[in-house]
């Protein structure tokens, strides 16, 4: 049972922003409600109003935008999973969306809601880091764009101002010759660890590497030191030495103790899964698909 609230259904971003400005913390933005309704039910949050953003025009759009892929904030994970534009430009994202939470959450939960709630255990927030993601925040006063890493600042903490609405996220597709993978591991409803990697290969050597690790700490992170190691490596080098990169990632990652495991455990799993993800990506760069299976692991 939920405590009573009013339900606003603004027709424009300006109206929505106005309501938020007036009601402050007594109002909560509402799209799919997959996180919001749970914390309301738990009594962890009390609000007087919900501001439904699903009727705001254009927010569910998924389209190309000046070489980028634009995903509207109210696009559901399910929509992203099936969208031809996502498959064409950022296919890894479509595949990751297919594995978010469970099918019921994917039917209803939105990309914008996922990013704005900033749950540390977010698959999308992790993989989006590999695509130079930028979120658009809109309010009565105007709009601004923030890099995802500047938007998600801590666990459940974003730099969204009270009267702002996250309206879209923009992603930069990878250059040709890039192969990627997302590997997630966990026994619980939310993953214990999510590793996203991408290798850009040209002339037989790695020209660019991207590694992001999520779920183990306050927010997902790119690991620049580990990425740098791979520069100039051949694919054979990657397969032989992925362990070293895993070890460097484990040393660099910011991990916290929680009910998923100790920080030490998570660092160790980071070492293991960065290596595994790199092997999958390297295999794909060579035109091979990995069929390795590991317990409680999803290879995307």
Partner 1 sequence: MRVERDLDVTASPERLWAVLWDVPRMVACLPGCTEAREVEPQKHYEAHMSQRVGPISLSVPMQVTIVDVEPPGSLALEAKGRDGSLGASVAMSVRLVVAPRGGGSRLRVEAEGKILGKLGALGHGVIQRRAEELIDEFGVRLKRVVEG
Partner 2 sequence: MSVIPIRSSSSVRCTVNGRPVALEVRPEALLLDVLRDRLELKGARRSCDMQVCGACTVLVDGAPVSACTYLAVEVDGREVTTVEGLADGDRLHPLQEAFIDHGAVQCGFCTAGMLLTAKALLAEDPSPTSERVAEYLRGSLCRCTGYRKILDAILACATPKVAAG
Sign for the pseudo-dihedral over CA of 31, 28, 152, 250: negative
Residue among 169, 253, 243, 154 nearest 213 (CA): 253
Residue 37's binding partner among partner 2, partner 1, none (Cβ under 5 to 8 angstroms by kind) is partner 2
Site stretch for partner 2 (CB under 8 A), options 65-73, 99-107, 150-158, 192-200: 99-107
Q: Among 21, 37, 39, 146, indicate the residue that binds partner 1 (CB under 8 A).
A: 39
Strands 27-30 and 49-52, bridge-based pairing: parallel
Site stretch for partner 1 (CB under 8 A), options 41-49, 99-107, 206-214, 271-279: 41-49
Q: Among 6, 45, 103, 224, indicate the residue that binds partner 1 (CB under 8 A).
A: 45
Q: Among 21, 101, 205, 256, indicate the residue that binds partner 2 (CB under 8 A).
A: 101
Q: Among 17, 34, 122, 168, indicate the residue that binds partner 2 (CB under 8 A).
A: 34
Task: Pick out residues in 250-269 that bind partner 1 (CB under 8 A).
Answer: 256-260
Could you tell me the CA-to-CA distances from 54 to 8, 30, 32, 36, 106 in Å, in that order?
11, 8, 8, 15, 15
Nearer CB in complex with partner 2: 107/262: 107
- Dig out the tokens for 267 from the structure: 């660092």
Distance, CA of 104 to CA of 121 (rounded, Å) = 18
Rounded to 10 degrees, what is the CA torsion of 262, 251, 292, 98? 70
CA 123 centroid distance within chain: 5
Nearer CB in complex with partner 2: 27/211: 27
Three-state DSSP at 191 gives coil
Least separation in angstroms between residue 236's CB and partner 1 is 39
Site stretch for partner 2 (CB under 8 A), options 104-112, 123-131, 161-169, 247-255: 104-112
Total residues at interface with partner 2 (CB under 8 A): 32
Distance, CA of 223 to CA of 294 (rounded, Å) = 24
Under 8 Å between Cβ of 158 and 147: no
Residue 28's binding partner among partner 2, partner 1, none (Cβ under 5 to 8 angstroms by kind) is partner 1
One symbol per residue from 149 to 168: x for binding partner 1 (CB under 8 A), - otherwise; what is it? ------xxxx----------
Strands 134-139 and 142-147, bridge-based pairing: antiparallel
> According to the binding rule CB under 8 A, does residue 52 interact with partner 1?
no
Distance, CA of 10 to CA of 26 (rounded, Å) = 16
Chain position carrying tokens 């993989």: 127
Q: Among 102, 175, 286, 296, indicate the residue that binds partner 2 (CB under 8 A).
A: 102
Judged by the rule CB under 8 A, the positions of this chain that interact with partner 2 are 1-12, 15, 33-34, 37-38, 41-42, 48-50, 78, 99, 101-105, 107-108, 189
């Amino acid at each position: 049972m939920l405590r009573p609230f009013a339900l606003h259904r603004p027709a424009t971003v300006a109206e929505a922003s106005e309501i938020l400005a007036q009601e402050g913390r007594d109002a909560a933005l509402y799209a799919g409600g997959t996180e919001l309704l749970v914390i309301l039910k738990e009594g962890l949050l009390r609000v007087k109003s919900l501001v439904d953003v699903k009727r705001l025009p254009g927010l569910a759009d998924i389209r190309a935008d000046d070489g980028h892929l634009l995903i509207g904030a109210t696009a559901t994970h399910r929509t992203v999973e099936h969208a031809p534009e996502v498959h064409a430009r950022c296919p890894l994202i479509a595949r990751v969306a297919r594995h978010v939470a469970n099918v019921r959450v994917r039917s209803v939960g939105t990309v914008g809601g996922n990013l704005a709630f900033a749950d540390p255990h977010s698959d999308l927030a992790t993989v989006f880091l590999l695509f130079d993601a930028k979120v658009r925040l809109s309010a009565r006063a105007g709009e601004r764009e923030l890099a995802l890493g500047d938007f998600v600042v801590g666990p459940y903490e974003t730099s969204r101002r009270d009267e702002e609405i996250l309206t879209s996220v923009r992603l930069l597709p990878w250059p040709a010759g890039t192969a990627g993978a997302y590997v997630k591991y966990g026994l619980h409803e939310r993953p214990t660890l999510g590793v996203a990697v991408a290798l850009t290969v040209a002339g037989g050597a790695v020209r660019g590497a991207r590694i992001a690790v999520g779920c183990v700490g306050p927010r997902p992170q790119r690991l620049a030191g580990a990425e740098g190691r791979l520069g100039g490596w051949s694919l054979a080098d990657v397969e032989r030495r992925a362990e070293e990169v895993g070890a460097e990632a484990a040393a660099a990652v910011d991990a916290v103790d929680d009910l998923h495991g100790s920080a030490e455990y998570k660092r160790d799993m980071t070492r293991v899964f960065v290596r595994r993800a790199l092997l999958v990506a390297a295999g794909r760069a060579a035109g091979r698909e990995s069929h390795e299976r590991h317990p409680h692991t999803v290879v995307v």
